[in-house]
Amino acid sequence: MTEYTVLLTWDDEARVWIAVNDEIPLVLESGSLDVLMERVRYVAPEVLEANGKPYTKILLHFKADRVAMVV
């Protein structure tokens, strides 16, 4: 089983979550964190296959980061 860490970062200006992983390679965005994680789960195997990286099972680690200013 191959493991990948997908970084989820909030873009406050665009008001979207962005998912990035250079190993897969993958860049996706969505206004919803839950929707974005589902999109990554669906797309990651297809992108791996399209890039000649065969797999049987993959384990995705999602790491989210969001900074908020409180005034």
**Domain spanning 2-65: which superfamily?**
TTHA1013-like (3.30.2390.10)
Name the nearest CA neighbour of 36 among 26, 28, 24, 44. Answer: 28
Residue 16 pLDDT exceeds 90: yes
What's the pLDDT band for 29 if we cut at 50, 70, 90? very high
Omega before 45 within 30 of 0, i.e. cis: no
**How many Cβ atoms sit within 10 Å of the Cβ of residue 32?**
11
Whether the predicted pLDDT of 37 surpasses 90: yes
pLDDT computed for residue 69 by the predictor: 85
55 pLDDT higher than 90: no
User: Domain residue spans in the chain?
Assistant: 2-65
pTM of the model: 0.88
Q: Is the dihedral of CA 55, 25, 45, 7 positive or negative?
A: positive
16 phi and psi angles, rounded to 5 deg: -140, 155
